[in-house]
Amino acid sequence: MHKLVLVAAFASFIAGPAWAVECTPITKKQVEGLFDRWNASLATLDPQKVVENYAPDAVLLPTLSNKPRVTQEERKAYFKDFLKKKPQGKIDSRTIRIGCNKVTDTGLYTFTMADGTKVPARYTFTYEVEHGKWLIASHHSSAMPEHKN
C-alpha cells in the first residue's frame, strides 16, 4: 500500500507542473472586439494589416476564392484583391463559445462593398492565443446559398 501512495505522489510531483495549462481569460465582449479589430484592419485597405490578425499557420477558407489560404503570403494575396472592393463587415447574428485558450465565433455577417453591393455570408472564426495575443487560427466564410427574391 505504501508503495502505491509513493508512486502516485511521485507521479503527481513530476507530471503536475508539466501538465498544468494556464487558460488566458477572455469575455464575450472581448471576443466581439476581435472581429471589430479584424474589420477595422479591412478599413485600412492594407493586406498586411489584415494578415496580422492571423496566426502564421492559420487556415483561411475565403468567401470569394475556391483556394484555401494556408500561408501568410497566400492570405495577403487574397486580401490584396478582396480589399479592392473596400469591404466592411457587419455581424447579423453570432454564437460565441469560449474554451481554454480557444474561442469560436460563428454566425452570419454581411459585407457592404464600396459600390453598395451587399454580400451576406456565413462565417466561423476560431481564435487561439499565441505569444499572449488572440489570433485567428481558422476562418471560414461562405456566401449564403439561398438567394432572396
pLDDT in tens, 66-83: 999 999 999 999 999 999
pTM of the model: 0.84
Q: Is residue 149 part of a domain?
A: no
Q: Has residue 4 been placed in a domain? A: no
For the chain, how many structural domains are there in total? Answer: 1
In a domain, 102, yes or no: yes
| Dist CA 24 CA 101 (whole Å) | 6
* 7 within domain boundaries: no
Is 109 a member of any domain? yes
Q: What is the CATH number of the domain that holds 107?
A: 3.10.450.50
For 104, the domain range is 24-143
For 26-67, the pLDDT digits (tens) are 999 999 999 999 999 999 999 999 999 999 999 999 988 899
